[in-house]
């Protein structure tokens, strides 16, 4: 049975960065205006006054210092508090597909082979900007790829689920090479008026190419993949096509990202840590021998705790890659950004772990070894 190899990755970084200071300035102005406009109701106890935030609070709670976005002006405007991304005509490539294509082209260039040798495209992300046609098919068309393409959504775990799916296509002979893209405009589903979450997400796109090892040069051997899901309402987004059938709920807070952060931390950290250790044992990999962890970039405190549980000690600098300080949480793309930016120094035979986790709950592990 053919085996898949990860042969190239790509990264598209949006042109605008928003610092915590900029984000807080807009948020606190919004809070002041809201409280002033609702002063009587607040005094009467009918509604609760909003509390201001600070850059220090954000960094301590998350490790995030800044984030990249596709539109900055709307986000930092207290009268708007959302990105402004005008609709495009159907004849023009959609913004999500455009981001994916940029990341894919970088991966294809690093691969060194023509896009025509790719047989399948998977768009694996936490949000698609439309129901159909599939974003992946638009990406396929833009790159001139034959074969087939489809979208998949497993929230923040979409990339590892996509890698597993791509590897299975190669193993069964359905394709000799597969492109997986992870375009994320997370700012579009973020409530910038919510103190507990307005700082969490950023925008980005990543790409991964997997190829049949019989024709691949270099790259990363996949030692094992494992997927896990467990239903939870603690991370949720109720936006969907049926919203119009219940107009009273349109615009409600639950139509954007909502979470019970403390519950997520308590439940996801042990689930993911145990999954990693068990998977490593099953495939004969010693966790303490891993050179590097490329984890989902949700929260620095969460990643540090998972790193300690997996390695059995505090990770040394460079062992547990952190990119969320500048990119924030980029959902499905986070672990791939970490892998893309911190893997070139591996020698043949050295091993690492790509791991993602998030809403669902969902989690995926991909152990790799440099060829």
Residues annotated as catalytic are: 156
Q: How far apart are CA 354 and CA 280, in angstroms?
A: 12
Provide the b/e sequence for 183-198 (b: ≥16 CB within 10 Å).
bbbbbbbbbbbbbebb
Q: Residue 193 — φ and ψ, nearest 5°?
A: -100, 5
CB 66 within 8 A of CB 23: no
Residue ranges of the chain with pLDDT lower than 50? none
* Domain regions of the chain by residue span: 221-370
pLDDT at res. 113: 98
pTM for the model: 0.96
Structure tokens at 246: 């219940």
Q: How far apart are CA 356 and CA 335, in angstroms?
A: 6
Show the CA angle centred on residue 129, arms to residues 123 and 135, nearest 5°: 30
Q: How far apart are CA 330 and CA 319, in angstroms?
A: 20
Scanning the chain, the segments in alpha helix (DSSP H) are 20-37, 39-43, 55-62, 95-111, 135-143, 158-171, 261-282, 300-311, 324-327, 334-341
Structure tokens at 318: 């460079």
Which pLDDT tens digit goes with each residue over 284-311?
999 999 999 999 999 999 999 999 999 9
Q: Is 228 exposed, middle or buried (0-12, 13-18, 19+ CB in 10 A)?
A: middle
Q: How does DSSP classify residue 55?
A: H
Instruction: List the CATH code of the domain at 221-370.
Output: 3.40.47.10
pLDDT at res. 1: 87
pLDDT at res. 317: 85
Residue 252 CB contacts under 8 Å (≥ 6 apart), including other chains: 238
Provide the CA 206 distance to its chain's centre, in angstroms: 9
Say how many residues make up the chain: 371
End-to-end Cα separation, the chain, in angstroms: 19
Q: How far apart are CA 121 and CA 181, in angstroms?
A: 8
């Amino acid at each position: 049975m053919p085996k898949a190899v990860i042969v190239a990755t790509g990264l598209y970084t949006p042109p605008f960065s928003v610092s915590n200071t900029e984000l807080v300035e807009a948020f606190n102005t919004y809070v002041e205006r809201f409280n002033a406009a609702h002063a009587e109701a607040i005094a009467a106890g009918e509604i609760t006054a909003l509390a201001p935030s600070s850059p220090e609070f954000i960094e301590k709670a998350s490790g995030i210092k800044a984030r990249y976005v596709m539109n900055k002006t709307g986000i930092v405007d207290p009268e708007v508090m959302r990105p402004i991304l005008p609709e495009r005509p159907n004849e023009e490539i959609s913004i999500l597909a455009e981001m994916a294509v940029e990341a894919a082209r970088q991966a294809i260039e690093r691969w060194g082979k023509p896009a025509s040798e790719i047989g399948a495209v998977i768009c694996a992300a936490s949000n698609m900007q439309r129901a159909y046609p599939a974003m992946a098919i638009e990406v396929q068309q833009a790159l001139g790829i034959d074969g087939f393409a489809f979208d998949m959504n497993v929230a923040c775990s979409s990339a590892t689920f996509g890698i597993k799916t791509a590897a299975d296509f190669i193993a069964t002979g359905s394709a000799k090479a597969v492109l997986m893209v992870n375009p994320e405009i997370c700012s579009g589903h973020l409530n910038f008026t919510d103190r507990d979450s307005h700082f969490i997400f950023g925008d980005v796109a990543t790409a991964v190419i997997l190829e049949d090892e019989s024709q691949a040069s270099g790259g990363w051997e996949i030692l094992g993949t494992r997927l896990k899901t467990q239903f939870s309402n603690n991370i949720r987004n109720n936006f969907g096509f049926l919203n119009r059938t219940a107009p009273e709920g349109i615009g409600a807070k639950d139509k954007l990202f909502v979470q019970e952060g403390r519950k997520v931390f308590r439940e996801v950290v042990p689930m993911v840590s145990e999954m990693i250790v068990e998977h490593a044992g099953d495939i004969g990999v010693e966790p303490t021998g891993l050179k590097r962890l490329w984890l989902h970039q949700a929260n620095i405190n969460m990643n540090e705790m998972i790193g300690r549980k997996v390695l059995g000690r505090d990770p040394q600098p460079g062992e547990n890659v952190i990119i969320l300080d500048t990119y924030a949480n980029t959902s499905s793309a986070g672990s791939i950004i970490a892998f893309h930016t911190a893997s070139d120094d591996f020698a043949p035979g050295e091993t690492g772990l790509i791991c993602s986790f998030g809403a669902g709950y969902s989690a995926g592990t991909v152990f790799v070894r440099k060829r």
